[in-house]
Amino acid sequence: MINVGIVGGTGYTGVELLRLLAGHPQVNLRVITSRSEAGIKVAELFPNLRGRIDLRFTEPSPEALTACDLVFFATPNGTAMKMVPSLVSTGVKIIDLAADFRLRDPEEWQQWYGEPHACVDILAKAVYGLPEVNRAAIQTAQVVANPGCYPTAVLLGFLPLIAQGLVDNQHLIADAKSGVSGAGRKVELHTLLCEASENFKAYGVRGHRHWPEIRQGLSQAAGETVGLTFIPHLVPMIRGIHATLYAPLRDTQVDIQRMYEDHYRDEPFVDVMPPGSLPETRSVRGANQCRIAVHIPPTGKTVVVLSVIDNLVKGAAGQALQNMNIMFGLQESLGLEAIGMIP
C-alpha cells in the first residue's frame, strides 16, 4: 500500500483527487490538510465521500507528511515550492498539481507568477508529468510537476504533428474553451452563476500563465522555439476543455489520421477518433481520457485538431493518479477505469 498525504484538500482539484484516491486499491490515505477546515470531517464538507473517507482535515504537519510515501499538493501556486524541500530531504515523493515546478526557467517562473522561485535546485530535477511524453523519467522521479489543464489538451493535440515535423512551428494557434471549475473553488464575481451562465467570453488574451507552459512543451518536441497563439475562453459549463488547434501543413500528402492513430496506439488514455468525428466534452466528463479528432478543411493547407478532456481529471487529479501509478510501478490505469458520464 502507498501511504498518501494531500496538502490542500478542499478545492475542486483536491476533492476530485480525494474521490479518485478513495477508489484506488493500493492507496492508504493518511493525512488531508486544510488550514481553513482543520478539525472538520472530510465527509462533512464533501458528502459524496461518506463511507469512503473517515479522516478529518488537519493543519499541515511536517511530521505527518514525512510519514507518507507520497504527498500530493493541490494548493495555490507558490505554496508547494516552500514546503517541498523539507519533504524531499526525507525521501518523500511529490506530485504538485499547481504550477510550481512546470516551467524549467526560474526567471520565466518569476515573470509569470510574480515571485522568485523558492527551490531552484529541486526545480532543475523535477519531471514534467505528461505520461505520454515523459513516462520513463516519471518512473524514477521524486518530484513530478502535474501539467495544467489547457496544456494537457493542447500538447496532446499538437505533439504528433510537431514530432513528425509536418507543420510550420512558427504559426500554431490554440483556441481553447474551459468550464467554470477551471477557475477554482474560490468566490469570484466572474464565476457566479448569474455572471457565467448564458455567457461566453475570451480571457487572458494579452497573456495567460499556461502559454509559456504549452510553448515550453512544444518547443522541446520541435527542437526550436515555436510560435504559439493561445487564447482561452470561459464557457457556461462546470467541467471540460475543448481545444481547437490550427497549424499550417508542410506536407499535404501525409495521412494525418493514420499518423495520429499510430502515435497514440499504445496510450491507454488517448483516444484518436475515426475520420470526421467531432469529440464532445461530455464524453470525457469524469474520465481520465483525452479524445482527439483530426480534420483537413477544404483548402488542404491547414490541419485542425480537436482535443477534449475533463479539466479536473485528465487535466488535473486523474493525471496525478496516472503519474502516481507510474512512479510506484503499478498498472497505469489502476483506479482510473471510470467511463465518461452521459448525460
Positive or negative CA dihedral for 115, 119, 124, 128? Answer: negative
Torsional class of 107: left (φ above 0), alpha (ψ -120 to 50), beta (otherwise): alpha
Q: Break the chain down into helix, strand, coil percent, rounded to 5.
A: 35, 20, 45
Determine the Cα–Cα distance for residues 232 and 177; give it in Å rounded to an integer.
6
Cell 483506479 belongs to residue: 335
Strand partners, 243: 176, 307
Q: Which of 68, 119, 149, 290 is catalytic?
A: 149
Please list, residue by residue across 290-300, b when 16 or more beta carbons sit within 10 angstroms of its beta carbon and e when fewer do: bbbbbbeeeee
Determine the Cα–Cα distance for residues 288 and 270; give it in Å rounded to an integer.
9
Annotation marks residue 149 as catalytic: yes
Active site residues: 149
